[in-house]
Amino acid sequence: MDEDSIYKALDLTMPWAVGLVITKRENKINVCPVTFQVISSIYEKPYVVCIGLSNTNYTLETILKTKEFTYAYPSIKQLKDTLFSGTVSGRNMNKISKTSFEFTKASKISSPHLNGAIVNFECKLDHAYRLERFTIVVGKIVHAQFDRYKKIEKLQKIYALGDFDYGVIEKINVIQSSRT
C-alpha cells in the first residue's frame, strides 16, 4: 500500500479528539493542540497519556527539559483559541497573551490547568521515543482535575473531523450496554 492510500485510510479513523498540551518554562505558559494522542484505558495501570509531537516543536523541547506537562481536553467553547495555538510557536511569542485562555495552579506539577476544560491531567514524563520526524511522549498521570459537581459534558470535546473541519459529536446511539 502506498503513502497516498495510507493517508486516505487514516482519514477513515476520524473523528479524532483534540487535546491541549500545556507546559510552563521560566514562568511562561505555553499551549499546543494535538490530535496525535491516546489515553490509557481504565483497565491498565499506570494510567498514561501518549502524545506524538513533532521534533521541531517548542512544546517537545520544554517537556524534555521540565519532565512534565498538563494534558487537557478543551471544550468546544475554546475552539478558536485552541486552533490558533496550533498555528504559532511559543518559541517565538507569548501565544497565551493572544488568547482568552485562563489557568489555575495544578496540584502536583508546575504546568497549570486550563480553566473551562472538560478535564485536566497532570503528567510526569515517563518515556520519550524519538522517531524520524516526531517523538512519542508517554506521561504518567499523577493527578486529574474536573468539576465533580457539574454535569460533565464529555461530548463537548473538540473533534477533528477531516478536511480541516472541527466540531462536536451531538448524538451517540447506544446499541448495547454490556459485553455479552
58 touches ligand FMN by CB under 6 A:
yes
Nearest alpha carbon to residue 25 among 55, 70, 66: 66
Phi, psi of 54 (to 5 degrees): -60, 140
90 touches ligand FMN by CB under 6 A:
yes
What does the alpha-carbon distance between residue 60 and residue 40 come to, in Å, rounded to a whole number?
20
69 touches ligand FMN by CB under 6 A:
no
Asked whether 82 and 158 are in contact (CB, 8 A), the reply is yes
State which residue, 149 or 163, has the beta carbon closest to ligand FMN.
163
Provide, rounded to whole angstroms, the least separation between the CB of residue 139 and ligand FMN: 14
State which residue, 13 or 177, has the beta carbon closest to ligand FMN.
13
- Name the β-bridge partners of 25: 28
159 touches ligand FMN by CB under 6 A:
no
State which residue, 11 or 147, has the beta carbon closest to ligand FMN.
11
Provide, rounded to whole angstroms, the least separation between the CB of residue 32 and ligand FMN: 4
101 touches ligand FMN by CB under 6 A:
no
52 touches ligand FMN by CB under 6 A:
yes
112 touches ligand FMN by CB under 6 A:
no
Task: Calculate the alpha carbon distances from 132 to 1, 32, 51, 57, 85 in Å.
Answer: 20, 20, 15, 14, 24
Interacting stretch for ligand FMN, rule CB under 6 A, among 53-61, 104-112, 136-144, 147-155? 53-61
Residue from 40, 67, 86, 138 touching ligand FMN (CB under 6 A): that is 86
Nearest alpha carbon to residue 53 among 71, 35, 74, 73: 35
162 touches ligand FMN by CB under 6 A:
no
What does the alpha-carbon distance between residue 121 and residue 119 come to, in Å, rounded to a whole number?
7
Q: How many CA atoms lie within 13 A of 56 on its CB side?
A: 4
Contact footprint for ligand FMN (CB under 6 A): 18, 30, 32-36, 52-54, 57-59, 83, 86, 88-91, 160
